Amino acid sequence: MKEILFLEPVFTHNIWGGTKLRDEFGYPVEGDDIGECWGIAAHEHGDCSVKEGTYKGKTLSSLWTSNPELFGNYKSKRFPLLTKIIDAKADLSIQVHPDDAYASSHENGSYGKMECWYILDCKEDATIVIGHNAKTKEELADMIHGGRWKDFIREIPIRKGDFLQIDPGTVHAIKGGTLILESQQNSDITYRVYDYDRLSNGKPRELHIEQSIDVITVPAKEIGDSVRHTDDVPKNCMYELIACQYYRIFQMDVDGAMEFEQKYPFLLASVVEGSGTIDGHPVKKGDHMILCNGYGKATIEGQLKIIASTPV
Ligand code: ZN
């Protein structure tokens, strides 16, 4: 089936959001607090609809149920992945996600959340919060209950093009000035550990201290195991950045033309830089799409960067 589902993104407004999703990606959305563009999503908090073609106007969640053949009859009750672009103008709260087992028993059968970040842009000398410095669960609880955030939080330098895998149980946060593409399990379950003592509408936002202490992995993964630079990724090929139990992520830096085989149950693709065509169809930065099951050979032309993913 040579079907590409082009999707209409859904946006969220957040206290830490900015204007880059409109100014740099051209999305028609108002406000100066645009935090997230859910580019490929079939979630109760954001369900993208198909822009054009046979399935125009249908939501991704309804297509998942009505036309499973488009997705290779992939065995999952819900659409398994979610792709977002996040513009953090201010620091995001420090958070952690549960795994499937914890989410399923404590959050009404929800999925846990494994996610990964591709850094689309950041300030010079930017950092990101990933991991923590507690050696034992006891020290973890002490640091959190005692508000010893400086001791607790591990911050590491990042640059444009870095790729980070964030396992459930990993403390993480994006700092202001960072723009990322996030690929994740289709879940919204987040436990907020610390919010820099900020107020939202005059009140601090809710924290989830006990759940966080429950799910945070101790000790944290080594820094070197968390970040991958992508300067050396070859052009004009489908280059795998990671494969884990939930997804595989690919980078495609097209300079001229490339061909690849869409042999997966289905492939999520987001254009994050430049413009060109996919099998003659014009695409540009900010476009999100799904190449359906059985798509086969595809040709991409132009100068563009695509981040693609497929469930495992
Ligand atoms: Zn997260």
Residue 197: pLDDT band (50, 70, 90) is confident
Length of the chain: 312
- pLDDT tens per residue, range 212-267: 999 999 999 888 777 899 999 999 999 999 999 999 999 999 999 999 999 999 99
- Angle at CA of residue 198, ends 195 and 199, nearest 5°: 125
- pLDDT tens per residue, range 133-184: 999 999 999 999 999 999 999 999 999 999 999 999 999 999 999 999 999 9
Active-site residues: which are they? 192
Say what the pTM is. 0.94
CA of 307 from ligand 1 middle (Å) equals: 18
Residue 219 preceded by cis peptide, ω within 30: yes
Q: What CA–CA distance (Å, rounded) separates 50 from 44? A: 16
CA of 280 from ligand 1 middle (Å) equals: 36
Q: What CA–CA distance (Å, rounded) separates 201 from 134? A: 33
Q: What is the pLDDT of residue 1?
A: 62
CA of 36 from ligand 1 middle (Å) equals: 12
CA of 83 from ligand 1 middle (Å) equals: 12
Q: What is the pLDDT of residue 198?
A: 85
Q: What is the pLDDT of residue 201?
A: 82
Which is more confident, 200 or 67?
67
- pLDDT tens per residue, range 60-118: 999 999 999 999 999 999 999 999 999 999 999 999 999 999 999 999 888 899 999 99
User: With DSSP H G I counted as helix, E B as strand and the rest as coil, what are the percentages for the chain, rounded to 5?
Assistant: 15, 45, 40
Among candidate residues 11, 74, 108, 105, the one with its CA nearest the CA of residue 292 = 74
CA of 166 from ligand 1 middle (Å) equals: 8
Find all residues with CB under 8 Å of 85, minimum gap 6, and list them: 21, 25, 36, 37, 39, 120, 179, 180, 181, 182, 270, 272
CA of 312 from ligand 1 middle (Å) equals: 20
Q: What is the pLDDT of residue 222?
A: 86
CA of 238 from ligand 1 middle (Å) equals: 26
**Which residue is listed with tokens 């079907």?**
3
- pLDDT tens per residue, range 258-306: 999 999 999 999 999 999 999 999 999 999 999 999 999 999 999 999 9
